Structure 1
Amino acid sequence: MTTTPLIELVVPVHDEERVLADSVERLCAHLRAFPYDVRVTIADNASTDRTHEVARRLAERHPQVHAVRLEQKGRGRALKAVWSTSEADVLAYCDVDLSTDLAALLPLVAPLLSGHSDVAIGTRLARGSRVVRGPRREVVSRCYNLLLHVALRTRVSDAQCGFKALRRDAAAVLLPQVRDDAWFFDTELLVLAEAAGMRIHEVPVDWVDDPDSRVELLPTAMADLRGVVRMSRRLGSFAAVGVVSTLAYVVLFWLLAGPLGSQGANLVALAVTAVANTAANRRLTFGVRGAAGRWRHQAQGLVAFVAGLALTSGTLGLLHLLADPSRLVETGVLLVASVAATLLRFGLFSRWIFPTAPHRAQPTHRTAASEVAA
């Protein structure tokens, strides 16, 4: 008779026939001395190689290993499928490359089993973590998490680390709400958990980058950005205002560059669009109505204007120092610099100018169990 495991540890895989057997053998060896009953479920999402065949052989060799096959691709889809039907008390997952040191597994699940926390995540960005990875992935990871803090106001330090766990009662609340079936699944799950007031425990991990990772960095980053925009009404509104402001800036610069010169046209175009941008975002993005604080907000908006001016003027000056560009090249380079200035303004608006503006509901500090009971 099969007993219900205390912990279900999912390993989502796609075209991993070369590394799957070695990783699962290492995982099983580690679990022999583990103090809790763990079932390892290999969730193959639409592999086109022999991954599922390898998974079935591992399941035959190890009683605690199970193999599941999904016909559609998506790490989030695989996790949702297994977790939604599991009867284990704690649901967890780790990446097949085992980049995270397995010594962190017990600290990950312990606060969930004790009832102290609802969700637990491994973090590579907290004090006490030891990480070995290339500079490109380091920069992308830190920029992405900074964007989450600004756009979605999440407090978790590392949303992307492939090492997470949650209680089954928390999963019952969260999984039906998660829309993403791919890599943004993790982030969406955590944002929803925070909004529900669930307690999230962070575990510093030792992590070594897998040089043979199957993750395509640029497509994944773009998909994550789309997910952030979808979850942040505020960011979407700011982006729309930013597009209009940027286009207006380009038109003004083009019209004024002749009579005023490049730097003069840049100054005037930025000043006009900065005032309009602050007024539009005050009302449309951050929901601030009435005259109270209007002039203070415009004065603070001037700081964002000065930052944008420094960025664009500096870029323009460097461009003229290196070459004698045409008007079209000038405009293109300034367009890129203006987009960067827009992102900087969003950070200043969210964290400084309108930090208490109305936004989505904040955590209420109710636990997952109380949500289910309600």
Structure 2
Amino acid sequence: CASASLQTSVEVLMKSNKRAILIFLPFQVLIIAHVTAGMVNLTRHEKEKYFLTATGEKELFPSLHDPHSRELSVVIPAYNEELRMPVMLDEATEYLERRQKQHPPFTYEIIVVDDGSKDKTTEVALRYSRKYGADKVRVLTLVKNRGKGGAVRMGTLSSRGKVILMADADGATKFSDVEKVEAGLNNLNPKPENMAISCGSRAHLEQDSVAQRSVFRTFLMYGFHFLVWFLCVRGIKDTQCGFKLFTREAALKTFSSLHVERWAFDVELLYIAQCFKIPIAEVAVNWTEIEGSKLVPFWSWLQMGRDLIFIRLRYFTRAWKLQSPHKTD
């Protein structure tokens, strides 16, 4: 009897402990999210403050705080992209040069941000800088890998454009579709503060892509979409397309508060934009999947899911705060 009573007591205690763990687990996650929250790091290494001119001399990058001096800046984050990037740069420069000839007042720049690559990404980009001149093509080489979000932010903060386009180095989106996202931006009528963002979207291609994916990858995709909608961003079907156009003012407002530097950075950017009530358009663009993606389906989706939860919790606990734009060091 004593043994049976002891066993019953142990079982009751174990059940109580399980309940306690389940009850306090959300609070533990909340505490972990708050304590491990990193602050915005806009500090540059000395080598990241300069680009090379045609004569090989170093010249300081401008600041996003400065008035614009170009119509369009194109920021291209690149990590180990020596093989895929030339196709994208050829398409982009051909389009932009043709547009400039047709309409001489149009001015542009391309900023390739080498995110600590281990291959010849910087050397490939510098070939285009020598061909078109450093006034049109500049290369920002990061001393160490920050992640795609960190690379986009560093390039954006160094840009001169009235509007700033984020474009992937793989050329998955047809570059001439910049006209579509420009139209989306203009339709928002971003006045008087000139705040607006226009996002390229692949949502119209989703059904075709589902037919080609495994059930598991489809489950991960829909799970991610649900977390984005539930925790962070509503009203945008495709937050992850790497083809987004910002007014200069909207870029300064959003990138100054950005914390996430890896895959989920797009979601935080749009979350920040919605908190600031910046108008956002979503525009269908042509998109083709290019081999050589750095995204590892299961682990990348898992990391992004974790980041989404932490984004929401860190803003909720005010570990992260929406910041006023400030200058970088």
Interval of TM-score (by shorter of Structure 1 and Structure 2):
0.5 to 0.7
Asked if structure 1 preserves the Cα contact closer than 8 Å seen for 2:232 and 2:308, the reply is yes
The 2-side partners of 1:53 and 1:130 are apart by 39
* 1:135 alignment counterpart: 213
The 2-side partners of 1:72 and 1:23 are apart by 24
C-alpha distance after superposition, 1:58-104 (max 9, x if no partner)? 11012322111011211111111121232311111111111112232
CA RMSD for the aligned pairs?
2.9
Asked if structure 2 preserves the Cα contact closer than 8 Å seen for 1:121 and 1:201, the reply is yes
Asked if structure 1 preserves the Cα contact closer than 8 Å seen for 2:202 and 2:238, the reply is yes
**2:164 paired residue among 54, 71, 91:** 91
**2:92 paired residue among 27, 33, 36:** 27
Q: CA deviation at 1:156?
A: 0.8
Structure 1 pair 9–172 and aligned structure 2 pair: CA distance change class (3 A): same
C-alpha distance after superposition, 1:39-68 (max 9, x if no partner)? 111110000011111111111012322111
TM-score under structure 1 normalisation?
0.58
The 1-side partners of 2:81 and 2:314 are apart by 39
Count matched residues: 237
The structure whose RCO (Cα within 8 Å, separation 6+) is larger is 2
Structure 1 pair 163–153 and aligned structure 2 pair: CA distance change class (3 A): closer
**1:71 paired residue among 134, 138, 143:** 143
Structure 1 pair 32–222 and aligned structure 2 pair: CA distance change class (3 A): same
Asked if structure 1 preserves the Cα contact closer than 8 Å seen for 2:227 and 2:305, the reply is no
2:107 pairs with 1:107: no
The 1-side partners of 2:80 and 2:129 are apart by 18
Task: State the structure with more CA Rg.
Answer: 1
Asked if structure 1 preserves the Cα contact closer than 8 Å seen for 2:112 and 2:155, the reply is no
Partner secondary structure for residue 8 of structure 1: strand
Q: How does 1:150-229 map onto structure 2 within 5 Å?
A: 150-229=230-309
* 2:198 alignment counterpart: 120
* 2:127 alignment counterpart: 57
Asked if structure 1 preserves the Cα contact closer than 8 Å seen for 2:112 and 2:140, the reply is yes
* 2:8 alignment counterpart: none
Q: Where in structure 2 are there 5+ consecutive unaligned residues? A: 1-61, 63-67, 191-195, 318-323
Q: How does 1:11-26 map onto structure 2 within 5 Å?
A: 11-26=76-91
2:316 pairs with 1:233: no
Asked if structure 1 preserves the Cα contact closer than 8 Å seen for 2:197 and 2:247, the reply is yes
Q: CA deviation at 1:234?
A: 10
The 1-side partners of 2:239 and 2:88 are apart by 23
The 1-side partners of 2:315 and 2:257 are apart by 20
Partner secondary structure for residue 98 of structure 2: coil
The 2-side partners of 1:19 and 1:234 are apart by 36
* Structure with more helix by fraction: 1
Partner secondary structure for residue 287 of structure 2: strand
